[in-house]
Amino acid sequence: MRKFLALWIVLAASLLCAGPVPIEFGSVPEKKLEVIKKIPYGTDNGQVGIFIPGKAEEKPFGPNAISGDGTGLFILDNMNRRVLSLDIRTKILKKELSLPSATFDALFVSKGTLFLHNSKEERLYARSGDTVRPETKIAAGKTTVYPYTKFMGNGTARVVVGEKEFFELAFTARSLMSFLLVGTADNGDLFFQIELADGSRHILITSGKGVVLGKMTLPTSDLYKPEKDIHVAGDGTVYVIAPGADALAVYGGRP
């Protein structure tokens, strides 16, 4: 029995470290993202703030992060120094809490607590009532967090899932320009944001062992392309925010 178990472990490790899995991207099954809600721009209730540039050298600035807690979505509204919450079932949008500054660049939920990251201070803030309070400053560490991705070039990307375990994906047309892990579902499925040579951006879904399960095309934006504006829920539902000329569109879909 022990010999059989040892053989199975070696076989599983060899499969994870085998040669690159070829991907013919055009033949990967596609699922669509659907619009959940369009949020108009402004400062009032039910609106989200954004700066739309009037000159070529200016950059757009506005909602730039999304996260969730299983029942709703949180949207970082830096322009209005607040966090908005969107109930997925009722589609009701409301102010969740106020922010002391407009220098937050990310938010996430951990063990039921909402956290925000302040890029200038390199510090986490945790929700405290209807505002946030600073946490202990993040210490620089060398701890490796799995899984993580490495773009190898020539259309190939590596996903490292353990100390000695990884799998590689090779796009046969060599059209892969970028590859980034953006979420993991509770069942272990992995979600990657990829950019192709034609400028299009997609979500690629694989199992934890590198089996390609599907893809979703990210919406284009009139102001800027979605990058970290993606949230993967525990059940594998993908949520995306994409600023348009007149409103912020919130998309959702499952692979």
- 172-213, pLDDT tens digit by residue? 887 899 999 999 999 999 999 999 988 899 999 999 999 999
In a domain, 43, yes or no: no
In a domain, 121, yes or no: yes
The CATH number of residue 91's host domain is 2.40.10
Number of domains comprising the chain: 1
Q: What's residue 139's pLDDT?
A: 57
- Measured distance CA(139)–CA(249) in Å, rounded: 36
In a domain, 220, yes or no: no
pTM of model > 0.85: yes
Q: b/e map of 140-162 (b: 16 or more CB within 10 Å)?
A: eeeeeeebebeeeeebbbebbbe
- Measured distance CA(148)–CA(14) in Å, rounded: 19
Q: What percent of the chain lies above the pLDDT cut of 70? A: 89
In a domain, 79, yes or no: yes
Map residue 14 onto helix, strand or coil. Answer: helix
| 35 to 17, 99, 195, 248, 253: CA distances (angstroms) | 39, 28, 21, 10, 9
- 12-29, pLDDT tens digit by residue? 444 455 688 899 998 999
pLDDT at 10 over 70: no
Nearest to 167, CA basis, from 195, 204, 206: 206
- 105-138, pLDDT tens digit by residue? 889 998 889 999 988 888 899 999 999 999 876 6
